[in-house]
Amino acid sequence: MKWITRERPKIDRIACPWLIKKFIDQEAEFIYVPFDEVISKAEEFGAIPFDIPNVEFTHYDEQCTFDYIIKKYKIDDPAVSIMAAIVRGADTDRHDIAKESAGLWAVSAGLSYNINDDYELLKTGIILYDALYSWAAHLYQQNHLQNSPFENLLHQVYNKFLSEKKSKNKKTPSWVKDLKEMIQDQIDTQFTFDLRQISTDLELNPSYLSREFSKYFDDLNFGEYVRKLRIEKAIALIENSSYTLTEIAYVTGFSDQSHFTRIFRMHTGKNPSSYRKKVKKSNPDTKGK
């Protein structure tokens, strides 16, 4: 079987090949091409397109392509069920679904940053998901600190220190204003966010910036704050432009319309099409835009 999807994979487009090779077809071949070539190349190569809009193997409601493959092929494995929640949370920016989702996103984004060749990235990613499967199958209930009273005590003291430190009023650092301007510049242009480069521009340690960010940005982490600004821009485009919702999704930096719809609904309580209908009803003059 041949499978094809868009280039530069991170979560679903590596997790799905791992799942297919492990449970469906060990000899499966995976092809990565630019987004606008997926359908035409699928016909040319006789490959199954996945993780793009308007194909069978894609996102449905709150679930990602990994979930659909499990359902389609009736994969009944407790470890895979544990992994599915982690993959879904990482792929849809819902880190509340599973606490491990944030870690999977961080490692996956780091691999994509370090490896430019998609097939080398897939090869390395397969090792990552093999490890995640072993953890889910054999180590899911085990805690790193459970067998070390000394480390556990040290961990408690450190958390107490952080809690006390956060409670103290501190003057807003000068880098906060600079960072807000940098983020807004990106929101207004191309939506390219490289935390490492931003840290370099601000002359700050990346770990420090990541740790301190939420204190000065509405109690949100970096990803959450950026998504909030993206949705605000999407709302402005819905209210004041004639772009289609698919165009708005890509213009505002979302990987596909289904991802955009989920995040939009999380922030507004409505899906984009319902929101647009409400805007047109309350502002009849916008119908011709």
The span from the CA of 102 to the CA of 151, in Å, is: 23
| Model confidence at 227: pLDDT above 90 | no
Please check whether residue 73 lies inside any domain of the structure: yes
Neighbours of 48 (CB within 10 A): 16
Q: Is the pLDDT of residue 140 over 70?
A: yes
Angle between helices 65-72 and 78-91 (to 10 degrees): 150
Max mean pLDDT range (25-29, 150-154, 192-196, 256-260)? 25-29
- The answer to whether residue 150 sits within a structural domain is no
For β-strands 29-33 and 48-49, DSSP reports them as unpaired
Q: Which two tokens stand for residue 280?
A: 């047109």
Distance CA 99, CA 85 (A): 10
Which CATH number do you get for residue 218? 1.10.10.60
Say what the pLDDT of residue 287 is.
47
The reply to whether 189 falls in a domain is yes
Q: Does residue 134 sit in the same domain as residue 51? A: yes
Instruction: Please give the residue range of the domain that contains residue 33.
Output: 2-139
DSSP string, 168-209: S--PPPHHHHHHHHHHHHHHTTT----HHHHHHHHT--HHHH
- For residues 135 and 179, state if they share a domain: no
Report the mean per-residue pLDDT for the chain. 84
Higher-pLDDT residue of 178, 65: 65
Confirm whether 129 is domain-assigned.
yes
- Does 38 fall in a domain? yes
Same domain assignment for residues 127 and 25: yes
What value does the mean pLDDT take over residues 251-271?
A: 82
77 and 204 fall within a common domain = no
Residue 279 lies in a domain: yes
- 180 and 101 co-located in one domain: no
Average pLDDT over residues 184-209: 66
Domain boundary among 78, 112, 139: 139
What's the pLDDT score for residue 169? 53
Shared domain for 133 and 183, answered yes or no, is no
- From 139, 163, 197, give the residue that closes a domain: 139
Specify if 167 maps to a domain.
no
Look at residue 145 and tell me if it is in a domain: no
Last residue of a domain, one of 119, 139, 159: 139
Q: Give yes or no: residues 133 and 207 share one domain.
A: no
Q: Which of 20, 129, 11, 130 is nearest to 70 (CA)?
A: 20
**Residue 100: is its pLDDT beyond 90?**
yes
| 183 and 259 part of one domain | yes
Our count of domains for the chain comes to: 2
Region 233-254: mean pLDDT is 85
- The share of the chain scoring above pLDDT 90, in percent, equals 46
| Contact residues for 88 (Cβ-Cβ < 8 A; gap 6+) | 62, 63, 64, 66, 67, 94, 97, 98, 101
Q: What is the mean pLDDT of residues 177-198?
A: 61
**pTM of the predicted model, to two decimals?**
0.55
Give the pLDDT score at 80. Answer: 96
Q: What is the pLDDT of residue 160?
A: 61
Same-domain pairing of 128 and 189:
no
